[in-house]
Structure 1
Amino acid sequence: MTATIRVVVTGAAGRMGREMTKGLLQADDIEVVGAVDRVAAGTDIGTLNGLQPAGVSISDDLAAVIRAARPRVLVDFTVAAAALANARLAVEEGVSPVIGTTGMSTAQLDELHQLCEARQVGAVVAPNFSLGAILMMHFARQAARYFPRAEIIEMHHEQKIDAPSGTALKTAELMAGAMEAVPPLPAGEEKVPGARGGAYRGLAVHSLRLPGAIAHQEVIFGGQGQLLTIRHDTTGREAFLPGLLLAVRQVLHLKGLVYGLENLLEL
């Protein structure tokens, strides 16, 4: 019988953290042994998620939780600065981070990768855990080879801190890598600064932040006499759970950092 994977969740009281913790609690091969957040300290994570008490209360001290609970995997849904600090602490203790927090810089990712290699610990950083979103990025990369122009429009809830989203940036990276050359954006006068969006890897990216939204993205390709739109809509945060479970199960077999869930899939 396969041993259960001991997991601690940081950002456990946030909207994403609660939804993912709920799914982890219900997975047969995973045992949630710790939960960390700056709010709701002392609250049982099962009760917080409308389940039976889990016997694990939220703490505000990650180091103490790791020492006491001895997890194998850290699942992080916090903010970029906290995620890096949490991951450093976890890796130093031989715990593998799985990070869904976006906004980490290339330098931060490189630092974490080097630390993981030095400690021979695996890590997964995924801008998006939705399998549908991963396929959307995969298809966009394929289409980028055949169209001269494309722009990315992403929309999230109004409380999302970073813009563009990590998914949009990852999509742009994949598309730019597939193109022989990214054409310059058309010259023109912006009557309102920023109206044409921001340029990343030569591609225009537009960010919307609206109440009622969760996570949505479309990539619009333009060619002679035609448009192609590839769109993905997340209508509920439970969409991220299958990808998270995949990462938690796979990270223990890695040495070093893997950036992007697509690298764990056969695409």
Structure 2
Amino acid sequence: MTDSKIRVVVVGANGRMGREVAKTVLNDPLLELVGAVDRSLDQVDVGIVTGYGETGVLFSTNLGETFVRSNPDVMIDFTNPNVIRDNVYTALDYGVRPVVGTTGIPQEDLQAWDGILREKEIGGVVAPNFAIGAVLMMKFAAQAAKYLPHVEIIEMHHDQKLDAPSGTAIKTAEMIAKERQRMEQGHPQEEEKLIGARGADFEGMRIHSVRLPGYVAHQEVIFGGLGQTLTIRHDSIHRESFMPGVAMAAKKVMAIKGLVYGLENLID
């Protein structure tokens, strides 16, 4: 290992996303896995769990102790909103750059993290979606909204996802809202026979959430115009789809000061 490698701790490394992240770090020549944290495992080699082979990096259940022992540059965290807040504040206390893929984080936390990061003159990344194709979908959708302002969003995820709508859907709607004026869609006398049938309302556009086993992460942005429709869709059929974006964020965060929200802000 050389000093030029970016030293990474993966939190939630025994989860479905965490294992993919750990393997990505282990396979990237510019990254070095120096720690793995998970509340379910302790003193077990990460490589044995991920199928990579022995690495000498052992799981720990204590994040602070892992930071002290491994002296990382970056923490990658794909846990859940119930624990991510404490994890990020712990990382900030130790001067470790957070790269976070958890959605549902309150705006006040994002603002607080940005302030602390700027004081410490280091960077952080929070992204609703690390799949580069999904980021392109959001950018294309924002561009299309300039010409086709009538739009609805349908996002589909596995049935273990805790938040709805997804962070990607909300981020897409935010990007679209910047490109069109607020407008009420549909018939002005429209009536829902069942509450929620028309989905959530965001600046006049509708967002629909589907939760079923078999899905990973999918989204359609459907535009309607005179005599035409346009559908922009992205499908993540495996969690490895997020990994190129995760690796890119872990590298680019080293040159950032403050918090970057959204992977689209890291794409040239």
| Category of TM-score, reference length = shorter chain | over 0.9
Q: Provide Cα deviations, 1:182-201, integer angstroms capped at 9, x if missing partner.
A: 21133411111111111123
- Say whether 1:247 aligns with 2:249: yes
Alignment partner, residue 25 of structure 1: 26
Aligned pairs, number: 265
Structure 1: distance between partners of 2:43 and 2:202: 43
The offset of 1:42, in angstroms, is 2.7
Structure 2: distance between partners of 1:182 and 1:206: 18
Structure 2: distance between partners of 1:58 and 1:200: 42
Structure 2: distance between partners of 1:72 and 1:2: 11
Where in structure 1 do 4 or more consecutive aligned residues deviate above 3 Å?
none
Alignment partner, residue 74 of structure 2: 73
- Say whether 1:123 aligns with 2:124: yes
Structure 1: distance between partners of 2:93 and 2:3: 26
Structure 2: distance between partners of 1:75 and 1:153: 28
The offset of 1:2, in angstroms, is 7.1
Structure 1: distance between partners of 2:204 and 2:26: 42
Alignment partner, residue 166 of structure 1: 167
* AA matched with 1:19: E
Structure 2: distance between partners of 1:99 and 1:60: 19
Q: Provide Cα deviations, 1:78-131, integer angstroms capped at 9, x if missing partner.
A: 112321211111122111000011110111111111111111110000111111
* AA matched with 2:5: T
Assess if the C-alpha contact under 8 Å between 1:176 and 1:202 holds in 2: no
The offset of 1:44, in angstroms, is 1.5
Structure 2: distance between partners of 1:139 and 1:129: 16
Counterparts of 1:1-267 in structure 2, within 5 Å, are 3-179=4-180, 181-186=181-186, 187=188, 188-266=190-268
Structure 2: distance between partners of 1:2 and 1:58: 22
Compute the TM-score of the two structures, normalised by the length of structure 1: 0.96
Q: Secondary structure at the match of 2:219?
A: strand
Q: Provide Cα deviations, 1:218-255, integer angstroms capped at 9, x if missing partner.
A: 00001111100000001111111111111000001011
Assess if the C-alpha contact under 8 Å between 1:92 and 1:119 holds in 2: no
Assess if the C-alpha contact under 8 Å between 1:10 and 1:17 holds in 2: yes
The offset of 1:138, in angstroms, is 0.5
Q: Secondary structure at the match of 1:6?
A: strand
Q: Secondary structure at the match of 1:91?
A: helix
Once superposed, what is the RMSD of the aligned Cα atoms? Answer: 1.2
Sequence identity (%):
50
Q: Tell me, which stretches of 5 or more residues in structure 1 are unaligned?
A: none
Structure 2: distance between partners of 1:112 and 1:154: 28
Assess if the C-alpha contact under 8 Å between 2:77 and 2:99 holds in 1: yes
Assess if the C-alpha contact under 8 Å between 2:25 and 2:33 holds in 1: yes
Assess if the C-alpha contact under 8 Å between 2:183 and 2:203 holds in 1: no
Assess if the C-alpha contact under 8 Å between 1:91 and 1:121 holds in 2: no
Structure 2: distance between partners of 1:42 and 1:172: 43
Structure 1: distance between partners of 2:72 and 2:112: 22
Structure 1: distance between partners of 2:230 and 2:23: 37
Structure 2: distance between partners of 1:132 and 1:175: 17
* AA matched with 2:136: L
